Structure 1
Amino acid sequence: MPVQSTNPDFAAHIAEWEMMDDALEGEGAIKRNDRNLPKPSGMVEAEKLDATGNKYLYLNYTNRAQYEHWVRDSLRSMMGLVSRLIPEIELPTGLKGLEENATSDGFGLKQLFFRMVRQAISHGRVPLVVNIDETGEPYFSTYATRNAINWKVGSQGGRQDLVLAVFIEFRDNKEDEFDHDCKMVYRVFKMIDNVCHSEVLGDNGEVIEELKPLGTTGTDNRLVRGLEFLPVIYCGSTDNSPDVDEVPLLTMARAARKSYQLSADYFTALHQTSHPQPWVAGLDEAVELSVTGPSAAWDLGPKGSCGYLEFQGAGIEAVRKAMDEQRNAAVEAGAKVMDVGGTESGEARKTRQNDQHATLHSIVVTVAEAVEQGLRYAAEWKGYDPKQVTFKVNPEFVIPQVDAQVLAELQKSVMAGTISADTYWQYLTTGKLPERLYDEEAELISDERESAGLNLDKEDANSKPGTGRQPTAGADDTPLGDDRAA
């Protein structure tokens, strides 16, 4: 089979990924693709009669339609929550540079994490590849979801693991430095004799980069180390298996596209309602009518008649109602924190936010695990202990909200010695009370009392005469002197 062959799951989901690409790019991309707004049958028949002359009918139809950017706005809102998260990173000394320079374009691990979360939300799939540059240093590459066209799982060392991965890449046309056209090539990763190999092929199968073990560097083709696995991770929205996961924002994208289709009918109907069509009949051949509108009068002759064909618009309200239903469907998808006219209760809004956070929670955890796995691949490749690698993210999105009344009561309890100062501090900084057993809280109170008693004893001792404590400057009206002068 040719290198362009695709995995069956790729063919089954490519339409969804293309829909998400259009939704994120916005109205321009939506209107460029006729598949997003089918032509009405009347326009199809009109173009059969005169394709060029009647092309304006569908053009006006699409121009009046309105696409709502719910998907893009939702993604921005979700990434705003994710941007508050700070990864916990621990690396071996020789891999510390990855914190600031981890990607093929020179960005650090935190930026890599954000990119992967964004793509996992929008497409449900992020292909991540660990590679070695010309100097023998590891780096990460991510691919667009639609460019990971083929993969295969097979028996590898007694386990089911990846044995093939094919990606589309785009390379500059070096013949013209000002040209933006790119050449499409195929990068192939595959296992040969239990060692990962890589090659780059062209459209016709021609070899662009020869097949060699992955990790070969320099002009002398020095091999850093042969890998017994493919350093490819398919990060998903729910797990990191090669299987295709669901797209979190797909329901919203479908609702937005349906709303766009309905809006084309809605705004066309409004246009036709406000622009009645004049008609004339029974005119003599010598009579010519070429002007309509205010301040224009027609001479119809003795047998002529005229009138207006008015669009009644009986279905406009039904179309508008259907558009509102699509908007509500998008809100109920739980992928965007959105106000709905001020009638929503606080509990309902909190429920929607919790739904969103649950989705984000699984995505953040999954992406963090994928990055950590990639870092362990890099550590193993370079000869370090993979257990020294840590990349953790605490998916806590809620901004702490402290109730002033609760805080005041806690302060009274601290003064009365019934709760610990640590409990008060935890609530002040996080908005949550710590989860501790009664005995643990009592022991903490006892420790704090004991510590406070020791500190008080020290202060009393320091305040007694003859302890050797020096007076502070400014205690009297004379400056401090040198003890040796005395």
Structure 2
Amino acid sequence: MPFDITVRHPLYEAFLPSWTLMRDAMDGEDAIKAGGKDKNPFKYLPMKSGILAMSDDVKRQAAYDAYKLRAEFPEIVAPTVRGATGIMLGKPTTIELPKALEPLKAKATQDGLTLDSLHRRAALELMTTGRYGLLPGVDSGGNPYLAGYVTESIVNWDATDQVTDYVVLDESGAVRDRATNQWSNEEAYLECFVENGVYKARRWIKTRAGWQTEDEIAAQDRRRRAISELPFVFLGANDLSASPDDVPLYGLAKLAVRVYRLDADYTFALHMTSEPTPVAIGFDDPAQAIKDGLAPTTIGASKLWVLPKGGDAKYLEFSGPGLDAQAKAIDAALSRAVMFSAQILTDNSRTAESGEAKKLRLSNEQATIKTVALNASAGLEKALKNVAVWMGANPNEVKVEPDTDFFDHDLTAQEITAIVQGWQQGAYSWRTAFDRLQKGGVIPDDRTADDEQELIAEDMEGRDAPPEELFDPVTGKPLDPTKLPLQIIKQAEEIRR
């Protein structure tokens, strides 16, 4: 059997449906109604049995189109994904690089993304599909860069002794013919592998004559030494292994589709039953009566109904118990979806609960985005270390550290007092107390511990007695100069409240 570059890993095939659903849900209602990436119009909204039973193909399609048109897909997946990404990267990530890699901060990819933007893209992909890839490279000018690959582009991989040494990347896409200015789709793959202890890569391109391969390239560092390991880095929602991870918000996407289907049935029923249907009784041959213009076909104050002797007229009206059940089912599914999102995006720190209970709740609710934030940073750090090796720099000088304190927690007066008292009693350093006070919103984010000490010294310099603003606001007595830091903070908190 000849070698086939297009073969996909079995796990790729297993996870592809969940990735596709997430992509379609992220794209929103129009994509869902169009059948998503597969362009299958019945994928997310099957045809109702009553519509399917219609014998006329044209009328059946028109009825289904109207059925789908009235349905509403809840736009909850994309805001949750983007909101979670915003939370995890809301505070700056610490990125330290050796001098040779500093230019990457301004331009990390060949298409001009900054390192921060690439980091954000990786985090967004992990929240969406649970997987992303980074491949270091060096351009023709000798400048390093990182290439990012979405999970659908990482089609095959393998390992020797549990060390990944083979990966195939789908680089197919639209290309422009510079001579004709016409666009066409090019099918291409990049094969990366380690052979005899040397990392190599070759590109496969499909032409009319079949698959053609470019010359394989063996990677070397600045000292012309061979790169011995595969530099491709897999980023996952749970770890940095090659195997795909579970999609973090797959459950939310399935709930959104469930609500969409329930809403389709509900709005269809509303349409069919929302208006009473007039009925005229008493014609021996109703069809002939309508044809002869004897049976009424319209209603209104200007239309007189004349019925035969013994005839009757009434309305058929749906009472609605079934609709109530459908509405409750929609509300229940939507509530579950909203709760799913809220647990990730909100911090209910104002509720009255014990410290341990609050710590456990916040830990559970932030587990997903914290794990993703750590893996996005760890993966970027690993890729940058590989770049450093390639460029002959010290990989140990690379550091990517996220701030995983995602939510601001303003300290209460009691918490502030406890922090300062702990410092005064020697339980921890002033810098530790400063950091906690800064995270608690007492001290501005852009102020350092040394700046704060200088400001305190300036306040105290040349003062023989406490100034008027340092008198106790309740008793009017001067504050104890030996406990000024504590008292200043307590008074500031009183004023703020």
Q: Normalising to structure 2: TM-score of the pair?
A: 0.76
Give the Cα–Cα distance (whole angstroms) in 2 for the partners of residues 422 and 99 of structure 1: 30
User: Structure 1 residue 248: deviation in Å?
Assistant: 0.7
Secondary structure in structure 2 of the residue aligned to 1:333: helix
The residue number in structure 2 matching 1:58 is: 64
The residue number in structure 1 matching 2:489 is: none
Distance 1:336 1:295, change over 3 A: farther
Distance 1:36 1:268, change over 3 A: same
Distance 1:104 1:456, change over 3 A: closer
The residue number in structure 2 matching 1:202 is: 205
Give the Cα–Cα distance (whole angstroms) in 1 for the partners of residues 223 and 140 of structure 2: 11
The residue number in structure 2 matching 1:23 is: 25
Letter in 2 for 1:326: A
Whether the 8 Å contact between 1:149 and 1:168 is mirrored in structure 2 is no
Give the Cα–Cα distance (whole angstroms) in 1 for the partners of residues 426 and 382 of structure 2: 47
Whether the 8 Å contact between 2:280 and 2:312 is mirrored in structure 1 is yes
The residue number in structure 2 matching 1:320 is: 327
Q: 2:157 aligns with which of 151, 156, 162?
A: 151
The residue number in structure 1 matching 2:169 is: 166
Taking the TM superposition and a 5 Å limit, the aligned residue runs for 1:343-362 are 353-362=362-371
Q: Does 1:74 align with 2:89?
A: no
Whether the 8 Å contact between 2:296 and 2:305 is mirrored in structure 1 is no
The residue number in structure 1 matching 2:402 is: 393
Letter in 2 for 1:161: T
1:395-433 deviation per Cα after TM superposition (whole angstroms, max 9, x unaligned): 121213121354367668989999975565344312299
User: Structure 1 residue 62: deviation in Å?
Assistant: 1.2
Give the Cα–Cα distance (whole angstroms) in 2 for the partners of residues 413 and 230 of structure 1: 50
Give the Cα–Cα distance (whole angstroms) in 1 for the partners of residues 157 and 23 of structure 2: 22
Whether the 8 Å contact between 1:127 and 1:234 is mirrored in structure 2 is yes
Please list every run of 5 or more consecutive structure 1 residues that lacks an aligned counterpart in the other structure. Answer: 434-447, 460-486
The residue number in structure 1 matching 2:265 is: 265
Aligned residues: 429
Give the Cα–Cα distance (whole angstroms) in 2 for the partners of residues 297 and 367 of structure 1: 71
Secondary structure in structure 2 of the residue aligned to 1:398: coil
Letter in 2 for 1:165: V
**Range that drifts further, 8-17 or 131-140:** 131-140
Whether the 8 Å contact between 2:153 and 2:170 is mirrored in structure 1 is yes
Give the Cα–Cα distance (whole angstroms) in 2 for the partners of residues 456 and 223 of structure 1: 58
Distance 1:26 1:380, change over 3 A: same
Please list every run of 5 or more consecutive structure 2 residues that lacks an aligned counterpart in the other structure. Answer: 36-41, 443-452, 465-497
Q: Does 1:431 align with 2:437?
A: no
Whether the 8 Å contact between 2:280 and 2:295 is mirrored in structure 1 is no
User: Structure 1 residue 92: deviation in Å?
Assistant: 2.0
Letter in 2 for 1:328: S
Root mean square deviation, CA, Å: 3.7
Give the Cα–Cα distance (whole angstroms) in 1 for the partners of residues 92 and 428 of structure 2: 31
Letter in 2 for 1:248: P
Q: Does 1:366 align with 2:366?
A: no
Give the Cα–Cα distance (whole angstroms) in 1 for the partners of residues 358 and 92 of structure 2: 26
Give the Cα–Cα distance (whole angstroms) in 2 for the partners of residues 419 and 166 of structure 1: 51
Give the Cα–Cα distance (whole angstroms) in 2 for the partners of residues 261 and 65 of structure 1: 8
Q: Normalising to structure 1: TM-score of the pair?
A: 0.77
Give the Cα–Cα distance (whole angstroms) in 2 for the partners of residues 382 and 423 of structure 1: 38
| Identity score, percent | 27
Secondary structure in structure 2 of the residue aligned to 1:54: helix
User: Structure 1 residue 270: deviation in Å?
Assistant: 2.0
1:167-207 deviation per Cα after TM superposition (whole angstroms, max 9, x unaligned): 24314132687656533322222233332222222346845
The residue number in structure 2 matching 1:239 is: 239
Distance 1:207 1:403, change over 3 A: same
